[in-house]
């Protein structure tokens, strides 16, 4: 009975916290948002985690923070015309040592500025392992998509309201330190907040996870604004439904769209569906940014999405998986059985130790299937003068044979694209 009363009280608080559709205090006006966007040019970038890090904790912890690697990889990103990166932070890093974490953030921003890249920092994330821990990270779990990525806050913190002041201190501390920093593009305050994270991790999630995030999300927007953020705040919608009809949105989507200075969204579908989503969100008269896309097996590709984004002036250059293959397990297909090997689902961008230029990817000609599979990235593609293998992805399934894909670059290719592909 006490538990039921507590839950009822909690839900009552959530109901009181939901913002009205009218003006949200502190939110940018449409004019402010569009004026900011007009100064940015076309934003093209990627979700970023260095190839040496398994998750956001390993990226930022003192023992594994690798500025040399970051410098190298952001240099590659700059060389293909990318100008922004979406980068995940974590509340446990601030709890452990705020000052040291702040210094590493500043180091990252110095490297980013060197390469003319402005990051969009992500404060919280409801996806994947709900039991984050500092120190050495757990090994990968074979056959589990993103098995090494961790949520922030974790289930223990989310299920314990006494830890919410600590989360507030984290948001305000980070935003106060960098909220007026011109090197920062903006703040994605919560990635996929209503992701129930079922399947692989359902057993470790609070039963009322979404309700708790419903309570916290508007608070996070408020904390960031109270800390003095001068950059735009956002949280991206990502589920199905018609986003153009406000009254039909879920409670979480209403909070996201009514508190965001600029509108962000995720889409892993074919070009026509991507364009339909863009048209829905344009009805809010604010800048539209796609912060996740690109899943070749689902029809979401660079060559299909980018021309639409360019035409609609949508900042969509963020990849659905990191630009360079990290150690997260994010390339393992979501529907992969434990019986099948951990192989790529085609959601990676270009990756090469020597020449990481993103280009059009296509099925490998059958005559080269074995050759491409056996030769390392960076090898010259036989029969195609001047072309190098830059990335490979394999799709395996119980009823389908292995299929190889390759990405190549030809000297003199269009900056940020390739011969025959224009963004």
Start-end ranges of CATH 3.20.20.80 in the chain?
24-312
423 residues of the chain, pLDDT tens digit each: 444 445 445 544 444 444 434 444 599 999 999 999 999 999 999 999 999 999 999 999 999 999 999 999 999 999 988 999 999 999 999 999 999 999 999 999 999 999 999 999 999 999 999 999 999 999 988 878 788 999 999 999 999 999 999 999 999 999 999 999 999 999 999 999 999 987 788 889 999 999 999 999 999 999 999 999 999 999 999 998 899 999 999 999 999 999 999 999 999 999 999 999 999 999 999 999 999 998 888 899 888 999 999 999 999 755 554 565 556 555 444 443 332 222 334 444 543 333 333 333 333 333 333 334 444 444 444 444 444 444 333 322 333 333 333 344 333 333 332 222 222
Residue 277 backbone phi and psi in degrees, to 5: -65, -40
Residues near 335 by Cβ (< 8 Å), separated by ≥ 6?
A: none
Distance CA 286, CA 289 (A): 10
Strands 118-125 and 84-88: parallel
Distance CA 109, CA 115 (A): 10
Distance CA 51, CA 163 (A): 32
Residues near 362 by Cβ (< 8 Å), separated by ≥ 6?
A: 405, 406
Nearest to 56 by CA among 109, 124, 110: 124
Residues near 246 by Cβ (< 8 Å), separated by ≥ 6?
A: 21, 254, 257
Distance CA 418, CA 409 (A): 6
Residue 423 C-alpha from the chain's centroid: 21
Strands 388-397 and 400-409: antiparallel
Residue 228 burial (10 A CB sphere; 0-12, 13-18, 19+) = exposed
Nearest to 131 by CA among 157, 105, 108: 157
CA atoms within 13 A on the CB side of 246: 11
- What is the pTM for the complete model shown? 0.78
Residues near 361 by Cβ (< 8 Å), separated by ≥ 6?
A: 296, 301, 302, 346, 391, 393, 405, 406, 407
CATH superfamily of this structure's domain 24-312: Glycosidases (3.20.20.80)
392, two tokens: 């490979």
């Amino acid at each position: 009975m006490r538990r039921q009363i507590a839950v009822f009280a909690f839900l009552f608080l959530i109901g009181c916290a939901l913002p009205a559709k009218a003006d949200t205090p502190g939110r940018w006006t449409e004019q402010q948002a569009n004026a900011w966007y007009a100064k940015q040019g076309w934003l093209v970038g990627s979700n970023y985690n260095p190839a040496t890090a398994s998750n956001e904790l390993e990226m930022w912890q003192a023992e594994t923070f690798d500025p040399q690697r970051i410098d190298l990889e952001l240099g590659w990103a700059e060389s293909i015309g990318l100008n922004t990166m979406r980068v995940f932070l974590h509340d446990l890093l601030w709890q452990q040592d705020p000052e040291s974490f702040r210094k590493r953030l500043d180091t990252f921003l110095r490297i980013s500025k060197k390469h003319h890249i402005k990051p969009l920092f992500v404060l919280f994330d409801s996806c994947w392992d709900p039991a984050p821990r500092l120190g050495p990270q757990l090994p990968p779990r074979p056959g589990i998509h993103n098995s090494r990525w961790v949520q922030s806050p974790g289930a223990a913190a989310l299920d314990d309201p006494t830890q919410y002041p600590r989360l507030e201190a984290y948001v305000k501390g980070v935003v106060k330190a960098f909220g007026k920093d011109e090197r920062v593009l903006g703040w994605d305050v919560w990635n996929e907040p209503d992701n129930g994270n079922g399947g692989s991790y359902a057993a470790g999630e609070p039963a009322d996870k979404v309700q708790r995030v419903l309570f916290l999300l508007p608070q996070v927007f408020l904390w960031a604004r109270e800390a003095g953020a001068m950059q735009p705040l956002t949280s991206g919608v990502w589920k199905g439904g018609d986003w153009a009809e406000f009254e039909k949105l879920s409670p979480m989507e209403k909070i996201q769209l009514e508190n965001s200075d600029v509108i962000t969204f995720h889409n892993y579908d074919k070009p026509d569906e991507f364009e339909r989503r863009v048209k829905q969100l344009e009805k809010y008269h604010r800048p539209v940014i796609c912060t996740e896309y690109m899943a070749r097996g689902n029809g979401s590709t660079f060559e299909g999405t980018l021309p639409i984004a360019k035409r609609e002036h949508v900042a969509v250059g963020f990849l659905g998986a990191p630009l360079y293959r990290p150690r997260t397990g994010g390339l393992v297909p979501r529907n992969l059985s434990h019986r099948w090997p951990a192989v790529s689902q085609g959601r990676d961008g270009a990756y090469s130790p020597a020449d990481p230029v993103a280009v059009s990817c296509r099925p490998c000609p059958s005559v080269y299937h074995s050759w491409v599979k056996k030769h390392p990235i960076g090898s010259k593609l036989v029969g195609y003068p001047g072309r190098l293998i830059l990335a490979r992805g394999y799709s395996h399934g119980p009823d389908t044979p292995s299929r190889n894909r390759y990405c190549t670059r030809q000297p003199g290719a269009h900056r940020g694209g390739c011969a025959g592909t224009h963004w």
